[in-house]
Amino acid sequence: MTEYFAFNGDADGLCALQQLRLAQGSAGELVTGVKRDIGLVQRVRASRGDRVTVLDVAHDQNREAVARLLHGGASVRYFDHHFAGELPSHPGFESYINTAANVCTSSLVNDYLGGRHHRWAIVAAFGDGLAELGQALCEQYGVLPEQIEPLEQLGLYLNYNAYGESLGDLHFDPAALAEALKPFADPLDFIAGSAAFATLQRGYQADMAKAARLSAWREVTGAVLYRLPDAPWARRVMGVLANQLRSQHPDQALALLSGNSDGGFTVSVRTSAQHPLAADGFCRRFASGGGRARAAGINHLPASEVTAFAEAFEEAFGWA
């Protein structure tokens, strides 16, 4: 039997993978990419008797690939917190999917493993912009106050590394970063003993210094849009900048548009927990849109649709 892991290259996907590898052994083929590469299951070439574990990529965008694997005799174990659509009814399919706003994929894996490697779930929660979940897990497992900030920083940097149009935009290929994480049962040991952490920290600080000079492109009461340049640093900061701005203005809807090489835009959306319209529901109005309730995005928005998107966003989330 061959084990395959198809995982999102962000903090949540990496930390979910790390927990499972620590618990069950590290053997297995890795399939991953930049955060926006969500059709990962299509790249898995499993055969009868193999097992495929999918982490933090939406089933709705991988439905046909999952069906192909199941039909071919592989089993599929699915951990995720994004909109899933209709799930297969098949004896080879295990679903650990929960789309509630206060969970992440790594917290689902943490529950599955009975908390055996909970510090990695804490890292993921902070990295995924779920600070309340991260704090709750710290309290649940008695993490010391002085340990919380380093765990939070690691989550931030792992998430930051995943954003880009291609692997060339990233500091580390997520597969290589997964291998760098693999020897460390405790994320605090990774922070202290891996040169990769220092590289991510330096890159994050340099890129966010540039992001600090950005100003809003369009703004109405309740909704603000930023338009970022077509540059690797801008693509790298998309997710962490969106989470940072949301934490500073929790009652405001936010959209970041970053130019890409084909003339279109990648979009990150964050919305208020008090707003009745979910971020993923809004983004699914556009081709390649999806995500979760308060953090979603559009992988490719053509330049010709930018104005229509901005007007729809302001209409949906602004108020007089």
Shared domain check, 282 and 226: yes
Domain count, the chain: 2
Partnered with residue 16 across adjacent β-strands are: none
Shared domain check, 58 and 196: yes
Predicted local confidence at residue 274, as pLDDT? 87
Q: Is residue 210 part of a domain?
A: no
Local confidence pLDDT in tens for the 320 residues of the chain: 999 999 999 999 999 999 999 999 878 999 999 998 989 999 999 999 999 999 999 999 999 999 999 999 999 999 999 999 999 999 999 999 999 989 999 999 999 999 999 999 999 999 999 999 999 999 999 999 999 999 999 999 999 999 999 999 999 999 999 999 999 999 999 999 999 999 999 999 999 999 999 999 999 999 999 999 999 999 999 999 999 999 999 999 999 999 988 889 999 999 998 899 999 999 999 999 998 889 999 999 999 999 999 999 999 999 85
Closest residue by Cα to residue 182 from 120, 123, 118: 120
Shared domain check, 255 and 198: no
Predicted local confidence at residue 320, as pLDDT? 59
For residues 4 and 51, what is the distance between their CA atoms, to the nearest angstrom?
6
Q: Is residue 98 part of a domain?
A: yes
Shared domain check, 174 and 63: yes
Note the pTM of the prediction, 2 decimals. Answer: 0.90
Q: Which of 173, 203, 233 is the last residue of a domain?
A: 203
Predicted local confidence at residue 109, as pLDDT? 98
Predicted local confidence at residue 297, as pLDDT? 94
Shared domain check, 101 and 61: yes
Which residue shows structure tokens 């809003």? 216
Q: Is residue 213 part of a domain?
A: no
Q: List the domain range (segments joined by +) for residue 192.
A: 3-203
Q: Is residue 32 part of a domain?
A: yes
Q: Which of 153, 171, 203 is the last residue of a domain?
A: 203
- The answer to whether 123 and 181 have CB atoms below 8 angstroms apart is no
Q: Is residue 208 part of a domain?
A: no
Q: Is residue 211 part of a domain?
A: no
Shared domain check, 227 and 291: yes
Shared domain check, 296 and 175: no
Predicted local confidence at residue 29, as pLDDT? 97
Per-residue CA distances from 171 to 11, 27, 151, 162, 196 (Å) = 14, 25, 20, 9, 9
Question: Interhelix angle for 145-161 vs 131-140, to 10°?
Answer: 140
- CATH number of the domain to which 174 belongs: 3.90.1640
Q: Which of 149, 176, 203 is the last residue of a domain?
A: 203
- CATH number of the domain to which 224 belongs: 3.10.310.40
Shared domain check, 196 and 225: no
Shared domain check, 153 and 266: no
Predicted local confidence at residue 107, as pLDDT? 98
Shared domain check, 184 and 123: yes
Shared domain check, 307 and 222: yes
Around Cβ 179, how many Cβ atoms within 10 Å?
A: 14
Shared domain check, 273 and 188: no
* Residues 6+ positions from 253 with CB-CB distance below 8 Å: 222, 223, 224, 269, 270, 271, 272, 275, 313, 316, 317, 318
